[in-house]
Amino acid sequence: MSGAGKVVCVTGASGYIASWIVKLLLDRGYTVKGTVPASHRWMIPRQLTTVLHRSSMLGDPKKVDHLLSLHGAKERLQLFKANLMEEGSFDSVVDGCEGVFHTASPVLLESSNPQGGFNIFHGSVAFNNRPRNPDVVIDETWFSDPVYCEESKDLMVSHRYVDVRDVALAHILAYEVSSASGRYCLVGTVTNSSEAVNILHKLYPALKLPERPEDGKPAEPLYQVSKKKAESLGIHFTPLEVTLRDTVESLKEKNFLQF
């Protein structure tokens, strides 16, 4: 679908997933209005919303250079400072936009007032405590189990993998496909860390990786996640082997990894 002549907003545009959304939107011809944090510290009041130039992003152009260098960015990308924690901060930015991709969120690991999300949308969640095993198929009716997360105290309680490019495309297709509605689970592969390491060993024998988890705990039982609804959008999930390979190659290209 061509986005020529259409204007959309991407909040938190300099973020990992959002940057890919911006790239794919530009590739499809959209004009993109992206927001970036008004300050490193979320609670500092913003100045008047202003369009950013390459040299004005919090004194560090590296935070937006990857966006400004994208194909089509010069003609169809505008970046604005906005404060997620301030109600109404995004009003002038989203004005005139046909759609909003909300990916911005403050990273507050200890917060009793997650107000930022409510300034963009309101919602409610439910959960269930059904067991997870190879015979269980998780779908969009499941939600994160707060009881399990509270007990585990672990941010990485699952082993679900998905390619960031698939996630970005799914955001766009959910906007473009008229029949899209509700919640979509985006999981390409369910496996354990040991299997991911085994794949990397086969792809890169010279890459030194641990043979087993450092904590020595046995791998959690696997389960299935339904891809049916996500695939109805037109998503074809990237195989884990391809995602891992492309990740390593990207790290090598940027000199973050050498072997």
Provide, rounded to the nearest whole percent, the portion of the chain with pLDDT above 90.
44
The pTM for the full model equals 0.76
Query: pLDDT tens digits for 114-143?
Result: 555 444 443 323 333 455 556 666 666 665
Of the listed ranges 10-24, 66-80, 114-128, 165-179, the least confidently predicted one is 114-128
Query: pLDDT tens digits for 213-245?
Result: 565 565 666 778 889 999 999 999 999 999 999
Task: Spell out the domains of the chain, with CATH numbers in brackets.
Answer: 1-109 (3.40.50.720), 124-258 (3.40.50.720)
Sign of CA dihedral 28, 171, 99, 68: negative
Kindly tell me if the per-residue pLDDT of 89 is higher than 70.
Answer: yes
DSSP string, 188-252: SEE--HHHHHHHHHHH-TTS---SS-TT-PPPPPP-EE--HHHHTTT--PPPHHHHHHHHHHHHH
| E strand or H helix that includes residue 37 | strand 31-37
Residue 143's nearest CA partner among 161, 128, 156, 157 is 128
* Residue that has been written with the tokens 């269980």 in this structure: 136
What's the confidence (pLDDT) of residue 123?
A: 30
CA–chain centroid gap for 218, Å, is 29
Of the listed ranges 1-10, 60-69, 150-159, 174-183, the least confidently predicted one is 150-159
Cross-strand bridge partners of residue 82: 37
Spatial distance between the Cα atoms of 136 and 8, rounded to a whole number of angstroms: 38
Q: How confident is the model at residue 212 (pLDDT cuts 50, 70, 90)?
A: low
Q: How confident is the model at residue 151 (pLDDT cuts 50, 70, 90)?
A: low
Q: How confident is the model at residue 110 (pLDDT cuts 50, 70, 90)?
A: low
Contact 64, 36 (CB under 8 A): yes
Of residues 95 and 120, the one with the higher pLDDT is: 95
- The rounded radius of gyration (Å) of the Cα atoms in the chain is 20
Of residues 52 and 258, the one with the higher pLDDT is: 258
